[in-house]
Structures are given as C-alpha cells and as structure tokens.
Amino acid sequence: MILIFLYLFTICSSLFTVCVSNPINSVLYLIAVFFYTSIIFLFINVDFLAYLFIMIYVGAIAVLFLFIVMMLNINKIERDHSVYLTIGGVILLFYFFEFFFACFYYELIYIPNLFASNINQFEFFSLSFSDESSRFIIIKLIGYILYKEYFLLTIYSSLLLFVSMVGSVFLTNNKYGFSMRKQDFQLNRDQHLFHTFMY
C-alpha cells in the first residue's frame, strides 16, 4: 500500500517537473522525484541504487540545477510560459508514447513483459541487509537485469534522457537571432583614403 502511494507521488512529481513554468519549482519537483525513487528502491531492498540516487542525483545534479536556475532570468521565463508549456507538452507526449509502446506493443519486438512480471523473480527481497556478500549480489543482479534482460528498455530510457537534454538546451537558449553591428561608417572611410607616395 505504501508503495502505491510512492508510485503516485513519483508520477505526479514527474508531471509537475515538466509542466511547471517556474524553473525553481521544477527543480524542487525533480528532487522530489529522485527522493521518492530512492525510497522505492529501499522498500524493495535495492539499497545500492537508493544510495546512488541520493548521492549522485540529489546531492550533485540537483544542486547544479539550482545554481543554473539562479543564473536564469525568472521574469522572462514567467512571461514566456506558453513556449515552455508547449515544449514540455511535446516531451510529455513523447514519454507517454514510449510508455504505451512498452506496455502494449511488446509483441512486435523482444521486450520482456516488465509491467506484468513480478520483480521478486530476481530475488531482491530475499537479500539480507546484514549480509555483506549480498550487496555484491545486488550489483551483479542489477547489471544482469539492465544489460541482459531489459537491454531495450535501457536503450529507451537513454533516448528519454537525450530528449530531455535537447529540450533543456532549447529552452535555455535565448538567442533568437544574431545581432550584427553595422559598420557602414568604417567601410565608408576607406573610400576617402588617399595614397601618398614619398619620392
């Protein structure tokens, strides 16, 4: 029951991360997504990924995002919120398309039925926190799941990260046109130059 609420909180925070026009609120929702995801990993005894999310994403990348947001012009972003909502909606549609493709069209190509399968088949719950050797088993099991069983889903998630990177670069690019300096005065000066020859 607690996991269901965590799933709902994670999905809602992800939607708010994309749809909110204020970048500060967007970063805060992104931190909430990482935090809820790490709690979910702790509940299924994958403590390695939980600590990894806390240290790398919340501890490093989210702080970097906050520094980047501090350098942005918030007033300009608030005025141009329609552009940001449009780009966020396009990215959100891409996410939903990929999600439904993974759910309903796994017969077309080999994609394991991740959403209908039970994660207990990989025996995460049977691992004990007190056993030090089980932590190496967790890392080995995660590598087997990502690069052996669900390698196509790993590639799809990398495509999602690529789309997010392109969208963030597009949203923070303020150059709508290059401003060129007119140098007509300097060019016209060349017509009035006189050549002086010394004999």
Instruction: Determine what percent of the chain is predicted with pLDDT higher than 70.
Output: 56
Give the number of residues written for the chain: 199
Q: How many CB atoms lie within 10 A of CB 31?
A: 19
The residues, ordered by sequence, that sit 6+ positions from 40 with a Cβ below 8 Å of its Cβ are 3, 6, 7, 10
Q: How many CB atoms lie within 10 A of CB 11?
A: 12
pLDDT at 86: 74
Arithmetic mean of pLDDT over the chain: 70
**1-72 CATH pick, 1.20.120.1200, 1.10.10.10, 3.30.70.60, 3.10.580.10:** 1.20.120.1200
pTM, entire model: 0.49
User: What is the Cβ-side half-sphere exposure of residue 177, based on CA atoms within 13 angstroms?
Assistant: 3
Domain ranges for the chain: 1-72
CA distance 40 to 53: 11
Question: Buried b vs exposed e over 105-133: b needs ≥16 C-beta within 10 Å?
Answer: ebeeeebeeeeeeeeeebebeebeeeeee
Q: What is the pLDDT of residues 110-128, one digit of tens each?
A: 444 444 444 445 445 444 4
